[in-house]
Amino acid sequence: GATDNFMDAKFAIKHHLPLNKLDTPITCKNVDGMISNGGKITHYTYQQIEAGGRNAMCKFLITRLRGEDILLG
């Protein structure tokens, strides 16, 4: 499974979310070990989410996701 939380770049831009630049870009690998075609991850955002009646501030790495807006790790 995912080791971090991820957000689709188009979703973040569409919703005008504040993006922060990572100090060091991250190379993302798929579950099969292949390097993701989304390229290196260079930005992140913090967003509050609600699940099961609980709120949490979560860091999301910004990348290109296929068919999903967010992926919780």
Provide the whole-model pTM.
Answer: 0.86
CA distance 20 to 37: 21
- The pLDDT tens digits of the residues spanning 26-46 come to 988 777 777 777 779 999 999
CA distance 2 to 5: 7
Please list the rounded mean pLDDT of every run of 10 residues in the chain (73 residues).
Answer: 87 98 90 77 97 95 92 89
CA distance 24 to 48: 24
Number of Cβ within a 10 Å radius of residue 13: 11
Domain range summary for the chain, segments of one domain joined by +: 6-71
